[in-house]
């Protein structure tokens, strides 16, 4: 048994967790272009249930620095193993995809690259710059790893002036050893606080998955900690198990509970809150800065 996480028999997925099938012209066009340019999206690699909705809204989440992660988080469907060589042409191809699809908002994330001193921060900056050169009106959110706590790496990303700086805390501190192997809760809070301190005009953002065995009081405390770190935007969604090799879903949080968390988030002072069973980090990302 995993320490700190209960296990129980698999239960059927509730009706409120059934996402519509990905269809539509924008979705199909983006899928073809991603293949043609040899790019990766976290939408596909992490098996996101909202891929059809987001791609049809002309919002896409590109995953740079390859599709192999150096960490082995218990919740994530992204491939783990030896990292791929850094592809310095990748920023150009991401920008080409954004321009070809006339994207209104792009989210750039990456696998963890603990093999690199800067954690991949250089590629984040180069990608932001490439998109701005090709499509100046496109909004850009970066969803970064923790860069192993390197403020220097965060400075590299901030210098490129993304429209939103996102780093997910993912879960409550008690569950970090199982859910976020190699990460530290305090380090994530520090990186968010540092980003806001250095560039107060850039909105900061973080998110949590629920249903992994956390208590509501623990969730409330993380929300308070994020506000104390001056985080502006909060996302809360239901954890969905990618496969039987991943952590089990302990419970399905109800839509009413998500609605209450949204109300509480605004009460705490978050400027924008997305809270619902199918919410993910980049869910309706453009709405948060509209």
User: Helix, strand or coil for residue 9?
Assistant: coil
Query: Which pLDDT score, from 0 to 100, does residue 10 have?
Result: 55
Q: What are phi and psi of 242, to 5 degrees?
A: -65, -35
Q: How far apart are CA 211 and CA 278, in angstroms?
A: 12
Query: Which pLDDT score, from 0 to 100, does residue 194 have?
Result: 98
Whether 46 has a pLDDT exceeding 80, the answer reads: no
Residue holding tokens 């210098």? 159
Q: Which has the minimum average pLDDT: 24-28, 34-38, 76-80, 208-212?
A: 76-80
CATH 3.90.1150.10: does it fit domain 20-289?
no
Contacts of residue 18, Cβ cutoff 8 Å, sequence gap at least 6: none
Question: Vertex 242, ends 215 and 35: CA angle to 5°?
Answer: 135
Query: Which pLDDT score, from 0 to 100, does residue 15 have?
Result: 76
Q: How far apart are CA 77 and CA 79, in angstroms?
A: 6
Whether 41 has a pLDDT exceeding 50, the answer reads: yes
Query: Which pLDDT score, from 0 to 100, does residue 204 have?
Result: 98
Q: What is the pLDDT of residues 196-243, one digit of tens each?
A: 999 999 999 999 999 999 999 999 999 999 999 999 999 999 998 777
Residue ranges per domain, the chain?
20-289
Whether 74 has a pLDDT exceeding 60, the answer reads: no
Q: What is the pLDDT of residues 50-62, one digit of tens each?
A: 565 666 666 678 8
Q: Is residue 143 within 8 Å of 127, Cβ to Cβ?
A: no
Query: Which pLDDT score, from 0 to 100, does residue 5 have?
Result: 47
Instruction: Locate 53 and state its tokens.
Output: 């909705």
Question: Vertex 144, ends 142 and 146: CA angle to 5°?
Answer: 155
Question: Vertex 107, ends 106 and 112: CA angle to 5°?
Answer: 150
Neighbours of 260 (CB within 10 A): 13
Q: Which of residues 6 and 269 earns the better pLDDT score?
A: 269
DSSP code of residue 14: P
What's the N-to-C CA distance of the chain in angstroms?
45
Q: What is the pLDDT of residues 102-158, one digit of tens each?
A: 888 899 998 778 889 999 999 999 999 999 999 999 999 999 999 999 999 999 999
Query: Which pLDDT score, from 0 to 100, does residue 19 have?
Result: 62
């Amino acid at each position: 048994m995993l320490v700190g996480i209960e296990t129980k028999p698999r239960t059927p997925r509730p009706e409120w967790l059934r996402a519509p099938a990905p269809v539509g012209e924008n979705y199909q066009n983006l899928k073809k272009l991603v293949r043609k340019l040899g790019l990766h999206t976290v939408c596909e690699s992490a098996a996101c249930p909202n891929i059809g909705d987001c791609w049809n809204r002309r919002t896409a989440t590109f995953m740079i620095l390859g599709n192999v992660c150096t960490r082995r988080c218990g919740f994530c469907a992204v491939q783990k193993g030896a990292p791929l060589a850094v592809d310095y042409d990748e920023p150009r191809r991401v920008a080409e995809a954004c321009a070809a699809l006339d994207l209104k908002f792009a989210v750039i994330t990456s696998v963890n690259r603990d093999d690199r001193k800067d954690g991949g921060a250089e590629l984040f900056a180069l990608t932001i710059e490439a998109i701005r050169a090709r499509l100046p009106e496109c909004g850009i959110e970066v969803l970064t790893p923790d860069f192993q706590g390197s403020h220097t790496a965060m400075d590299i990303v901030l210098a490129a002036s993304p429209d939103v700086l996102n780093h997910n805390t993912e879960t409550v501190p008690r569950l970090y050893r199982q859910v976020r192997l190699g990460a530290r809760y305090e380090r994530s809070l520090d990186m968010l606080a540092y980003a806001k301190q250095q560039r107060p005009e850039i909105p900061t953002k973080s998110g949590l998955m629920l249903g992994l065995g956390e208590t509501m009081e623990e969730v409330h405390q993380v929300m308070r900690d994020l506000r104390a770190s001056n985080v502006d935007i909060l996302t809360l969604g239901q954890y969905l198990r990618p496969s039987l090799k991943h952590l089990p879903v302990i419970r399905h949080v109800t839509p009413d509970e998500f609605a209450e968390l949204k109300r509480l988030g605004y009460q705490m002072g978050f400027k924008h809150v997305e809270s619902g069973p199918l919410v993910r980090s980049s869910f309706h990302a453009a709405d948060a800065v509209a």
